[in-house]
Chains A and B, each alone.
Chain A
C-alpha cells in the first residue's frame, strides 16, 4: 500500500464532497434536523389523557371519585356526558382517549361496604398510550379505594392505622424519565448509519454509472487503497456530524453527559469505520446509484433505527429477532453511547461492545476490498 496513492484518492474524494455544496450542506444539516425532530417530537411520555366522564350515579360519592381524576396531572377531564354514544363518537373522531363510566348504584355499593365497580373505556388503537393510560387510571382508582378503606376502618375501629405497604420508586440514570435523554444519545448511531447509507454507498456506484471507474482502473491504484481513501473522506464528514450531535445534545437539549469524552470519540471512530466500509461494500456490489441507495437504506437505516434498541427495547422483541439484533453493529454502539452518556460507564463495562465493533470494522474492510478486486478483474 502506498501512502501517496492513498492520499491522492482521499483528496480526489474530498474534492467531490466539497464541490457538491448542496449535498455537503444537506449532510451537515441532517443531524440538526434529526435532532430537532427526534428530540422534540419523539416522546412516549403520556400525560393529560383526554377523558369524558359518564356519571350515572350523580351522588357525592361518585363526584368524589371524579375529583381524584381531576386532581391527577395524567388526566384531562374534557366534559361530562349522559350516554355511551357520546363517548363512542369522541373516540371515533380522536377527540378523547378514555371514558370513565360510574354505574347507577355506585354510592349504594360503597355505602354498604360492597365492591363497587367503575368502568374505564380506552381507545386501544395506540396500544402503548392505552396501556400506560390504563395503568394510571387503575392506580388512581386503587389508591382511592385504599384510602376509602382505611378511612372506614379507622372510623369503625376507632384507632389509627396507615396503608401497610408503600412502594417507593427511585429511578436511576434518567431520573426525570424524559424521553429526550434516551433518544438523543441513541440518535448518534442512527445519524452515522444514514451518512454511511446516503453518502458512502453512492460513491463507487456513481463511478460505475458515470464511467469514471475505467479511468481509475487505468491508474496503478490498488483496491485496498481505493477503499481506504474513499472511506477516510467520508469519515471526516461522519465525525463532524457526530460532533454536532454531541454538542447540540449536551448544550441545547441538556442531556446529561456522565462518561469520558475520549472513550466516546474512540468508539465513534471504530463504529464509523465499520459502517463506512459496509457502505463501500454495498456501493461496489450495486450496479446503479438507485440500487445502492435502496440497499444502503434497508441494511443500515432500518436496522439502525429499529433493531438497535434506540427507541424500542430489544427485550420485548420475539426471540428470533432478538438473535438478529446481535449482528447489528448499531446495537452495540447504542449500548456504548447510552452507557457513556447516561450511566457514565467506562471501558471496563463496555469493552465487549467495543471489541465487537472493531471486529466488525475489520471484517467489513476485508469484504469491501475483496469485492472490489473481484469487480476490477
Chain B
C-alpha cells in the first residue's frame, strides 16, 4: 500500500512542479496577498484632507486652525470661501471634511457664551468618517478646555486677587494603554490572518482542481484500472497539497517576522500543529467539492462559493462582533473562524494550549468529520 501511495505522490509532485508557470503560481499568490494585506490594507487615518472655512478671521479662529494642523492628523488642503466651494470640494472628493468657523466665534468666546464649530464630514466611507469626527471632536474639546481654564482663572483672579491658588479645578484624564499592538498598526492585525486565509485558499482549490482535472481530461479512468485503492488515491492526491500548505504557512510566517516585523509572541510549533488540524478540514472540503463537480469551471466556482463565506465570516478582515446576531451565530459553523482566533492568539497575544484548547478541539472534531464524510463520498463515486 505504501508503495502505491508513494507512486501517486511522486506523480502529483511531478505534475505540480513540472511547469515553471505552475511553480510560480503555487507560491506567488501567497506572497502577493501578504504584500497587499501587509502594506495596502490600512484602516488608520492620518493626514486627513480637510478644507478650512474661516468666516470669523480673528486670532482665535486662527489659533483653532493651528491646533488642527499641529496634530498631524489633519492637512488643510483647501480654503473654502462660499457654500458653493464647500459643495464642490466634497462632491469631487477633494477633501474628506470641511471645518467651518462661524462669524462671531471670537466674540462669543470672549463673552463666555457657547459657540459652535461646524464640521461637515463626507460619510461615503463611514469608518473614515467616524475616525475623523472623533479626532476633530477631541481637538475642539481640548481647545474649549484650555479657553475655559484661561477665562475662569482670569475671572477668579479679578474678583479676589489673592486667590489664584484656589483657581485650580479638577480634571479627569484618560491614560490609555493598548495591549498586544501598542502602535495600533493595521498590519499586525491582518498579516497573521493571511496565514490562515492562504492555507485555506491554496489547499482547497488545488485539491479540488487536481481531482476534477483528471476527471475532465479522462485520465481518472486510467488511474482507476490500476490496482490503486480509493483511500490510497485520496491520500496521494491530498498529501502534496498539505505539504504545499504547510510550506506556504512557514514562508508567510517568516516574511511576516522579517519583512513586516509582526511580533510572534507564541510558539511556532503550536502554530504548525494547529495548521495541521485546520488542513484536515480544508483538504476534506476540497475532496468533497471534487466529488460534486464535473468540470474545472464548476469546481472553481464551487470552491469560490465555499471560500467567500468562510473568508467573510471568519473575522479576518471584518470583526465578528460588529455583525448582526444571527450572522454571528452562523459564524460559529465556520472552521476558519476558529483557526483565525488561534493564529491571532499565538501571534499577538502569545497564548498557548491552556487558552486555545477549545478552538483546537473544535477544529479537530470538524476535521475528522469532514474528512470521513468526504472520504466515504469519494469512495462511493469511484466504485
Interface SS of A by simple majority: helix
Complex-state Cα separation, A354 to B130, whole angstroms: 30
Q: Are A37 and B189 in contact (CB under 8 A)?
A: no
Which chain B residues border A306 with CB–CB below 8 Å?
36-37, 40-41
Q: Which B residues from 327 to 369 make CB contacts under 8 A with A?
A: 327, 341, 344-345, 348-349, 351, 355
Which chain B residues border A40 with CB–CB below 8 Å?
323-324, 327
Q: Are A294 and B312 in contact (CB under 8 A)?
A: no
Q: With A26-B302, A161-B112, A291-B22 in contact, do A128 and B43 touch (Cβ < 8 Å)? A: yes
Which chain A residues border B136 with CB–CB below 8 Å?
167, 169
Complex-state Cα separation, A124 to B44, whole angstroms: 13
**Which of A3-11, A171-179, A212-220, A359-367 makes up part of the contact surface?**
A171-179
Whether a CB of chain B sits under 8 angstroms from the CB of A22 is: yes
Whether a CB of chain B sits under 8 angstroms from the CB of A136 is: yes
Q: Are B123 and A166 in contact (CB under 8 A)?
A: no
Which chain B residues border A121 with CB–CB below 8 Å?
176-179
Which chain A residues border B149 with CB–CB below 8 Å?
149
Complex-state Cα separation, A325 to B56, whole angstroms: 39
Q: Are B173 and A127 in contact (CB under 8 A)?
A: no
**Which of B4-12, B222-230, B238-246, B291-299 makes up part of the contact surface?**
B291-299
Which chain A residues border B115 with CB–CB below 8 Å?
164-166
Q: Are A128 and B186 in contact (CB under 8 A)?
A: yes
Whether a CB of chain B sits under 8 angstroms from the CB of A65 is: yes
Q: With A152-B169, A302-B36 in contact, do A131 and B296 touch (Cβ < 8 Å)? A: no
CB closest residue in chain A, given B174: A141
Q: Are B173 and A115 in contact (CB under 8 A)?
A: yes
Whether a CB of chain A sits under 8 angstroms from the CB of B290 is: no
Q: With A42-B318, A127-B43, A131-B44 in contact, do A167 and B304 touch (Cβ < 8 Å)? A: no
Q: Which B residues from 19 to 49 make CB contacts under 8 A with A?
A: 19, 21-22, 25, 28-29, 32-33, 36-37, 39-49
Which chain B residues border A165 with CB–CB below 8 Å?
109, 114-117, 140-141, 143-144, 147
Whether a CB of chain A sits under 8 angstroms from the CB of B170 is: yes
16 extra interchain contacts, Cβ-Cβ under 8 A, other than A41-B312, A143-B141, A306-B40? A40-B323, A43-B323, A44-B126, A45-B127, A120-B176, A152-B170, A166-B116, A167-B117, A167-B141, A170-B121, A172-B122, A174-B129, A209-B217, A312-B42, A313-B45, A315-B45
CB closest residue in chain A, given B36: A306
Whether a CB of chain A sits under 8 angstroms from the CB of B209 is: yes
Which chain B residues border A120 with CB–CB below 8 Å?
174-177
**Which of B151-159, B268-276, B278-286, B374-382 makes up part of the contact surface?**
B151-159
CB closest residue in chain B, given A183: B126
Whether a CB of chain B sits under 8 angstroms from the CB of A267 is: no
Which chain A residues border B124 with CB–CB below 8 Å?
173-174, 182, 338, 342-343
Whether a CB of chain B sits under 8 angstroms from the CB of A247 is: no
Whether a CB of chain B sits under 8 angstroms from the CB of A113 is: yes
Chain B min CB distance to A14 (Å): 16
Chain A min CB distance to B310 (Å): 10
Q: Are B173 and A290 in contact (CB under 8 A)?
A: no
CB closest residue in chain B, given A309: B125
Which chain A residues border B302 with CB–CB below 8 Å?
26
Q: Which 6 interchain pairs have the tightest Cβ spacing?
A: A124-B181, A174-B123, A167-B140, A135-B134, A124-B178, A165-B144
Number of interface residues of B (CB under 8 A): 118
Q: With A128-B189, A149-B148 in contact, do A179 and B126 touch (Cβ < 8 Å)? A: yes
Residue among B48, B134, B135, B147 with most chain A CB within 10 A: B134
Can you list 21 A-B contacts with CB-CB less than 8 angstroms, sorted by A residue number?
A: A30-B305, A41-B313, A41-B323, A92-B355, A114-B168, A124-B184, A134-B176, A135-B135, A139-B137, A143-B141, A145-B171, A146-B141, A161-B151, A162-B113, A167-B140, A171-B121, A171-B129, A175-B123, A177-B129, A338-B124, A339-B93
Whether a CB of chain A sits under 8 angstroms from the CB of B119 is: yes
Chain A min CB distance to B39 (Å): 6
Whether a CB of chain A sits under 8 angstroms from the CB of B264 is: no
Whether a CB of chain B sits under 8 angstroms from the CB of A109 is: yes
Q: Are B36 and A122 in contact (CB under 8 A)?
A: no
Chain B min CB distance to A352 (Å): 10
Whether a CB of chain B sits under 8 angstroms from the CB of A375 is: no
Whether a CB of chain A sits under 8 angstroms from the CB of B55 is: no
Q: Which A residues from 254 to 308 make CB contacts under 8 A with B?
A: 286-287, 289-291, 293-295, 297-298, 302, 306-307
Whether a CB of chain A sits under 8 angstroms from the CB of B91 is: yes
Which chain B residues border A302 with CB–CB below 8 Å?
32-33, 36
CB closest residue in chain B, given A159: B155
